[in-house]
């Protein structure tokens, strides 16, 4: 057998002989014409374009060989010969076949489109020249696709079938094989922690008891293994094992390529504690201010996480003051004999940085000013990381953009300037809506409306809406201007009309017609505090029915019609990252609603509300909310009007109980809820996004516990009367508004309570 080097030598010797033989018979002459023979698909112009010879050139053996090489190099021809016929140069070619068809047999896991795309990227596609030398690399490309899916036993056979007109059909016969799963993860050298405890840090795992529920984590991936090894290292370093190291890793496979075995050898080393943490360098802040940011103290067990958290806290504080390019180096001094470590945090703040320009892009409909007025950074001002983060939150809270990104590249050639590049992705802010739906609170819903949340690109809002349910018929016109003044005072003007039948809403029967015209203002006091104030004029009409309880009749007879002047005022503290779908932050509100002196029905209602979102990960959060409400009459009235009573139960308060069913009932033969003047309600939810909606935040699940109760003026607040429920919900921010489904199970129902476990509030757009 000839060795590989000898074979290569003979191949190139033969190739050289072919080139010489195809061109060596030509004598030197001046070309008067060039004729191409043997073409089938390639045009003569293509040959003339690549041939380094033209009419009028002097040709000899050397230039003839160069011409043959140039045409071979195109890949279009498997053979090229140059011949002489007088002073005419004859170019005789034999074309390579073209690929007329590509077929796949046996592919089930990967569809044909994906296979074709990968072959095209490798230069192998229908209509292209068939290159036999490319076949093996294409075969390997397909096999790599299957290897990436854990199917290491996959094989590929290629069949080439000649077709008419010098074409070929290529068929890939694929045996996809079974998925190779990790059969064992073996850890060697651990003494302090058990194998099971260390394997808990791994993403890679062995198959579960039921393969049906197995994830792809039991399929080997080099990237996942590297990530797991880093997690293992972090696990030890966060527990003081400063000398920990991975000695070796071995990956082996069974002969049938269906089982993989991982073996990881490690050295734990000794556990270290902190001897001292010192701060040196240009501190900028006082030493005591910086020491408060260091969470790891002398005597503590060493933790890389705590050390990095301390460094990050110092960097964040420096960045908040404009030192965007600061560095904090943690320099260790290890005492191996006593197993202690001393760290010196060397602070280099660099130059204080200011903002050169704020550049805005991606806003096709929204005016730049709408974005700029939300920025807490200003051009020519000092850079601040905390103001940068706040700017992004404020832009997200506008609800005009599907995504907001802010980048701060350094200005080329400058050491103390950055540009702030704001990139937004606009979402639809104008829509015509018409639909039908059903709510367990209000029954059948018919609605129509038009909404503009970014009127003329100025961030202003206009909404005209009609909602018609079995209990309520509403007409609304609302105009919002978020920046009535340059200081950010917002104003809302509204007009609305309502017809309400309480009997259809599962409460004691009465009829009410009302019309309101009003204005609301919001005054920003600080970045997070704001003051709300509103004034409206209301025309109210009340009417009894045959089933109106006696509790209501006397009031209706005394006040069948009334003009009221309603005043609202409140103080709000709001740190949420989004108004519509928050992941972190919270809101606290103390507010009052009352009718002013001179109103024909005089009353007031007080509210204390709180809500908090705690981010547990990038996509999962915990949400808690609570509300206290109290109302009463004043002047001659002496009691809260019944139509302003608080109610409890249903999707918006305590799920699992029928809407408005918790609390006091009237004394009629068919008792109905009458509500109360005092309310307490709370909820705790674990919010998890629906798969695929992590970025848009428009769909998510909620695992909840609710509780609440209402009380009459005669009742004291008795926490023992609170009704509780627990369950699961699904919420969707659709084009027609929030849609919710929930299944709640009452925890402590009492005799007479009306349960309603499955509840829905949903709509369907039909135009």
Lowest mean pLDDT among 244-253, 585-594, 668-677, 739-748: 668-677
Buried b (16+ CB within 10 A) or exposed e, 664-694: bbbeeeeebbbbbbbbbbbbebebbbeeeee
pLDDT band at 288 (very low <50, low <70, confident <90, very high): very high
β-pairing, 585-595 with 561-574?
A: antiparallel
pLDDT band at 152 (very low <50, low <70, confident <90, very high): confident
Residues 590 and 737 in one domain: yes
Q: How far apart are CA 593 and CA 566, in angstroms?
A: 7
What is the domain count for the chain?
6
| pLDDT > 70? residue 147 | yes
Q: Give the Å distances, CA to CA, from 538 to 24, 515, 529, 595.
A: 106, 6, 29, 10
Residues 119 and 189 in one domain: no
| pLDDT > 50? residue 210 | no
Mean pLDDT of 75-101: 84
Mean pLDDT of 563-575: 96
Q: Do the Cβ atoms of 215 and 204 come closer than 8 Å?
A: no
Question: Taking Cα atoms as reference points, which of 448, 463, 311, 326 lies closest to residue 384?
Answer: 326
Range of the domain at 200: 181-267
pLDDT band at 505 (very low <50, low <70, confident <90, very high): confident
Mean pLDDT of 559-569: 95
| pLDDT > 90? residue 330 | yes
Q: Give the Å distances, CA to CA, from 475 to 354, 464, 514, 765.
A: 51, 8, 11, 19
- Packing angle of the helix pair 385-397, 304-320 (nearest 10 deg): 80
Residues 659 and 547 in one domain: yes
Residues 658 and 685 in one domain: yes
Would you state the pLDDT for residue 608? 97
pLDDT band at 637 (very low <50, low <70, confident <90, very high): confident
pTM (two decimals): 0.66
| pLDDT > 90? residue 177 | no
- 461 beta partners: 480
For 603, residues 6+ apart whose C-beta sits below 8 A from its C-beta are 594, 595, 631, 632, 633, 634, 637, 640, 641, 644
Would you state the pLDDT for residue 68? 86
Q: How far apart are CA 125 and CA 116, in angstroms?
A: 7
The enclosing domain of 448 has a CATH number of 2.40.160.50
Would you state the pLDDT for residue 11? 45
Q: Which of 146, 175, 204 is the last residue of a domain?
A: 175
| pLDDT > 90? residue 433 | no
Could you list the beta-strand ranges (E) of 132-244.
Answer: 155-163, 167-175, 181-188
pLDDT band at 385 (very low <50, low <70, confident <90, very high): very high
In the three-class reduction of DSSP (H, G, I as helix; E, B as strand; rest coil), residue 384 is classed as coil
Mean pLDDT of 468-487: 91
Q: Do the Cβ atoms of 455 and 463 come closer than 8 Å?
A: no
Lowest mean pLDDT among 397-401, 536-540, 623-627, 709-713: 397-401
Would you state the pLDDT for residue 22? 47
Residues 107 and 77 in one domain: no
Sheet holding 340-348, edge to edge: 273-281, 340-348, 327-335
Would you state the pLDDT for residue 427? 85
Residues 385 and 243 in one domain: no
Q: Give the Å distances, CA to CA, from 14 to 7, 94, 107.
A: 11, 19, 41
Question: Taking Cα atoms as reference points, which of 682, 683, 665 lies closest to residue 674?
Answer: 665
Would you state the pLDDT for residue 767? 31
Residues 211 and 280 in one domain: no
Q: Which of 208, 242, 267 is the last residue of a domain?
A: 267
Would you state the pLDDT for residue 472? 87
Residues 744 and 755 in one domain: yes
β-pairing, 621-633 with 678-689?
A: antiparallel
Q: Which of 118, 149, 175 is the last residue of a domain?
A: 175
Q: How far apart are CA 627 and CA 647, in angstroms?
A: 13
Question: Taking Cα atoms as reference points, which of 473, 427, 414, 475 lies closest to residue 450?
Answer: 475
Mean pLDDT of 399-417: 93
Q: Do the Cβ atoms of 317 and 252 come closer than 8 Å?
A: no
Q: Between 54 and 347, whose confidence is greater?
A: 347
Residues 579 and 469 in one domain: yes
Residues 71 and 202 in one domain: no
Residues 309 and 382 in one domain: no
The enclosing domain of 139 has a CATH number of 3.10.20.310
| pLDDT > 60? residue 2 | no
**Mean pLDDT, the chain, whole residue set:** 87
Outline where 580-645 has alpha helix (H): none
pLDDT in tens, 21-68: 444 457 788 888 888 887 877 788 888 888 888 888 888 888 888 888
| pLDDT > 50? residue 313 | yes
| pLDDT > 70? residue 370 | yes
pLDDT band at 690 (very low <50, low <70, confident <90, very high): confident
Residues 753 and 730 in one domain: yes
pLDDT band at 439 (very low <50, low <70, confident <90, very high): low
Buried b (16+ CB within 10 A) or exposed e, 44-78: eeebeebbebeeeeebeeebbbebbeebbebebbe
């Amino acid at each position: 057998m000839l060795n590989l080097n000898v074979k290569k030598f003979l191949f190139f010797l033969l190739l050289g002989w072919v080139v010489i033989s195809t061109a060596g018979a030509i004598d030197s002459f001046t070309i008067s014409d060039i004729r191409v023979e043997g073409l089938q698909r390639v045009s003569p112009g293509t040959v003339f374009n690549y041939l380094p010879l033209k009419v009028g050139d002097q040709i000899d053996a050397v230039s003839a060989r160069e011409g043959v090489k140039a045409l071979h190099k195109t890949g279009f021809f498997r053979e090229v010969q140059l011949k002489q016929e007088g002073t005419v140069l004859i170019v005789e070619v034999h074309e390579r076949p073209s690929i007329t068809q590509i077929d796949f047999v046996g592919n089930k896991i990967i569809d044909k489109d994906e296979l074709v795309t990968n072959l095209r990227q490798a230069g192998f596609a229908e209509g292209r020249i068939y290159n036999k030398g490319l076949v093996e690399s294409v075969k390997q490309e397909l096999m790599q696709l299957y290897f990436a899916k854990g199917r290491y036993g996959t094989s590929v056979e290629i069949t080439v079938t000649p077709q008419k007109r010098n074409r070929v059909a290529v068929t890939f016969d694929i045996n996809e094989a079974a998925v190779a799963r990790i059969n064992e993860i073996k850890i060697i050298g651990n003494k302090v922690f058990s194998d099971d405890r260390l394997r808990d840090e791994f993403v890679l795992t062995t198959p579960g008891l039921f393969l049906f529920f197995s994830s792809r984590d039991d399929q080997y991936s080099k990237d996942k293994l590297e990530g797991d090894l880093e997690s293992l290292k972090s696990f030890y370093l966060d527990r003081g094992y400063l000398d920990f190291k991975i000695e070796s890793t071995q990956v082996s496979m069974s002969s049938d390529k269906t089982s993989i075995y991982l073996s990881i050898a490690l050295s734990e080393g000794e556990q270290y504690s902190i001897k001292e943490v010192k701060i040196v360098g240009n501190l900028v802040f006082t030493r005591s201010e910086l020491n408060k940011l260091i969470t790891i103290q002398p005597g503590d067990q060493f933790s890389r996480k705590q050390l990095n958290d301390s460094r990050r806290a110092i960097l964040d504080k420096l960045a908040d003051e404009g030192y965007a390019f600061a560095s904090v180096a943690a320099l260790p001094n290890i005492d191996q004999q006593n197993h202690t470590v001393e760290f010196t945090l060397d602070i280099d703040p660099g130059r204080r940085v200011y903002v050169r320009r704020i550049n805005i892009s991606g806003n096709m409909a929204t005016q730049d000013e709408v974005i700029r007025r939300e920025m807490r950074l200003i051009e020519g001002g000092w850079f601040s990381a905390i103001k940068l983060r706040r700017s992004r939150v404020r832009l997200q809270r506008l609800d005009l953009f599907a995504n907001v990104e802010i980048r701060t590249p350094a200005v080329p050639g400058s050491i103390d300037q950055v540009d702030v590049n704001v990139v937004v992705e606009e979402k639809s802010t104008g829509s015509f809506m018409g639909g039908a739906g059903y709510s367990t609170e209000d029954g059948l819903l018919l609605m129509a409306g038009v909404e503009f949340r970014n009127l003329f690109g100025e961030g202003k809002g206009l909404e005209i809406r009609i909602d018609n349910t079995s209990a309520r018929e509403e007409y609304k016109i609302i105009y919002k201007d978020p920046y009535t003044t340059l200081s950010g005072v917002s104003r809302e003007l509204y007009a609305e009309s309502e017809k309400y039948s309480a009997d259809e809403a599962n409460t004691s029967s009465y009829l009410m017609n009302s019309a309101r015209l009003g204005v609301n203002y919001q005054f920003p006091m600080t970045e997070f505090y704001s003051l709300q104030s509103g004034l409206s004029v209301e025309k109210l009409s009340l009417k009894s029915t045959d089933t109106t309880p006696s509790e209501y009749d006397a009031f209706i007879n005394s006040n069948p019609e009334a003009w009221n002047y309603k005043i609202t005022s409140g103080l709000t503290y709001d740190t949420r990252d989004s108004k519509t779908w928050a992941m972190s932050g919270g809101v606290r509100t103390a507010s009052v609603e009352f009718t002013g002196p001179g109103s024909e029905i005089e009353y007031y209602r007080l509210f204390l509300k709180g809500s908090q979102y705690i981010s547990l990960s990038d996509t999962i959060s915990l949400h808690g909310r609570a509300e206290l409400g109290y109302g009463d009459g004043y002047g001659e009235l002496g009691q809260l009007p019944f139509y302003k009573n608080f109610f409890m139960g249903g999707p918006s308060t305590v799920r699992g109980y029928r809407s408005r069913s918790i609390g006091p009932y009237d004394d009629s033969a068919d008792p109905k809820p009458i509500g109360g003047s005092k309310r307490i309600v709370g909820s705790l939810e674990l919010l998890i996004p629906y798969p695929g909606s992590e970025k848009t935040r428009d769909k998510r699940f909620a695992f909840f516990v609710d509780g609440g109760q209402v009380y009459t003026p005669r009742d004291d607040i008795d926490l023992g009367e609170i009704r509780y429920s627990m369950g699961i919900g699904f919420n969707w921010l659709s084009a027609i508004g929030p849609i919710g489904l929930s299944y709640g199970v009452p925890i402590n129902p009492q005799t007479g309570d009306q349960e309603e476990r499955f509840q829905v509030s949903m709509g369907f757009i039909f135009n």
